[in-house]
Chains A and B, each alone.
Chain A
Amino acid sequence: MNALPATEHAPKEFVLEVEALTVSFDGFKAVDDLSFYVDENEIRVIIGPNGAGKTTVLDLICGRTKASHGSIRFRDRELTRMKEHEIVHAGVGRKFQNPTIYEELTVFENLELSIPRGRTVFGALGFRRDQAVLDRIEEIAEFVFLKDHLKTPSAILSHGQKQWLEIGMLLIQDPSLMMLDEPVAGMSVGERVKTAELLNNIIKDRSVIVIEHDMKFVEDIAHRVTVLHQGKVLSEGSMEHVKNDPKVVEVYLGH
């Protein structure tokens, strides 16, 4: 349905509009005049060779890196001028490339800290672990296959489980845009299948941007694919379209 090349539609509401985005580090343009648009309920996968600027794009959207030029509009809010935690409050969640979880704490506590309640200093001091909290944690833990591990210190989870936990930590915030940097890295084949299923379930009410190298997985989940090369969009469209694009073939074979 959605798997059509990005074409000139009538003006419509996108969840995310990235326009003319540029960032340079000491003169090197990691992202160069980049524009792309993400739809409601879309899974967009960004692929590209190493150094193409994929992670930098996510860094720019979530405010970790400041753009030199260009704009990032998310539901009519300009993200380039907001602080990181404000961007999260606006509804953007981000998973890091290496599973980034609180290893000293249990799965339960990891999820609890991610609940969007008591986010101020005094809010956190007064936060109570009530029934609503328990129910929400249980719901999300079940979703990311960790319900039987709630009391497990997260340090001893398998690599794949850590990835799921971090996805769960995003989900519990109920973001309308989720950005996942290599969510299946280090996962077994079985875990990858489950993760693809998981992602297809969570887009019911949100959009997802995924960076991934595993082409099989990309084919399983992508509605549209954006190929980045040297900070620019090389090609965009369905997986089928992108795979047969001579420019893409050249870049990948050239490496």
Chain B
Amino acid sequence: MLDGFTTHFIDLMKTVGLNFEFLTSGYEVRMWLDGMVTTLVLVVITIPISLIFGVLFAAALTSGKKWLAVPVRAYVELTRNTPTLVQLMCGFLVLNMLISNALGGAQNNPLTPFFWVVAITGLHVAAFHAEALRGGIEAVPSTTIEAARAIGFNSLQILRYVELPLAVRSALPSIINNLVNLVKLTTVGSAIAVGEITYASIMIWTQRDNVVELMLVILLFFSLINLVVARIGFWLEKRLAVPGFGQ
């Protein structure tokens, strides 16, 4: 039944000049589907990591403590103004090499290319989240903070119960935008042989020369993921909207 569908699809695509012959090769199809799954796993793991670190960075930036704010500010500026691929290379080639040397050989190094993609892209986007959240935290009226302090909240509680809930609401559009970028950024993983969809597609099209076909699928795939991310964001925005707050 599925085979029949596949041959039918291949024939149909052939009539419009697209070559999807690779769908008959079990090995390539498996690699291709694995690629899609890997991209989805990357996205699902990296989004929460970026959000957690985004909140931590924003908290550090607005803490008023120099020893916290200055290093984080430096990191944010560095990561916002350098290419993610260069950061990935610095992580995967340089830091990874140093770690391997320190542990006495690459075989002792537990860090995989997958780890580096998650870490670098997650922390990169976290810097953008932090900037968005910081704007929101700083926009909380000082009278609100004073009121919270007056009823006995300490600064962590103020952050958790007063500043963050308000900041998240005003920063949500930028955060969603950053997440869409994050989804696109996961493709840099192909540079260090993480088998996500781009990497799998490169493997297939170097054999079969069907770049246009696979490219169409990749573009559709990313459009779909980003559509879902944007929809969820839109839903959250509606859901979290406080009457009378914000625009």
Interaction A to B: no
